[in-house]
Amino acid sequence: MKEIILDTETTGLSVKDGHRLVEIGCIELENLIPTKNKFHCYLNPERKVSEKALEVHGYTDEFLSSKKKFKEIAQDFLNFINGKRLIIHNAEFDLSHLNNELKIIGQETLKNEIVDTLQLARDKYPGSPISLDALCKRYRIDNSKRVQHTALIDCDLLSKVYINLIDQKEPTLNFSNESSNDKNQKDNQVLYYKKVIKPSVKEKNNHDQYLRTNLKKNFFN
């Protein structure tokens, strides 16, 4: 399955205040492995960047003034994500800005399947910090390059966070020379390993004793 890790940067928080996109970054995954296919562009938002947004991403009005407008890259962007699931951290924010840009140029809003990693993290770790930085810390992912928020760096980090959130380690290629009669086994098969912890004999005996003592019906006789 092909999926797209997507992130955006903007001139400010809300489209209701007239804020616009200044950057789109996308990294393609195929069966959870990043491919070489990426989409990235800076955008001229046709308005000033707010001070708070400038502190976040560092893109000045002067820098953005020479970049393409959204309408100039819209079709290339839509072609890149067409038919693919979108993986976004705090999807409501990014989608509101993307759909706003599409509405401005008379295009339909996005119909892609969406996975919001913020919601995945909220369900998995209720009450815990679930920002991208917090999740990188939890999963020991190096985010030292994230001095400021930039779309491609955030996409790279989110791809690693996403794999951990769905309980998959990063893919490991099996280059073993062992032969097998299993017709389903292929060379360079991508394997995903989950850690399985088996109980000790003492733990198993304690568990059996608990069941004998506490179950209303004795299933051991």
Provide the annotated active-site residues.
Answer: 149
Helix (H, G, I), strand (E, B) or coil at 23: strand
DSSP string of 68-91, one letter each residue: PPHHHHHHHHHHHHTT-EEEETTH
C-beta of residue 123 within 8 angstroms of C-beta of residue 43: no
Nearest to 157, CA basis, from 42, 36, 34: 34
Determine the Cα–Cα distance for residues 121 and 166; give it in Å rounded to an integer. 10
Residues near 132 by Cβ (< 8 Å), separated by ≥ 6?
A: 89, 143, 154, 157, 158, 161
**67 φψ region: left (φ > 0), alpha (ψ -120 to 50), beta (else):** beta
Q: Tokens at residue 158, please?
A: 């989110």
User: Is the distance from CB of 115 to CB of 145 less than 8 angstroms?
Assistant: no
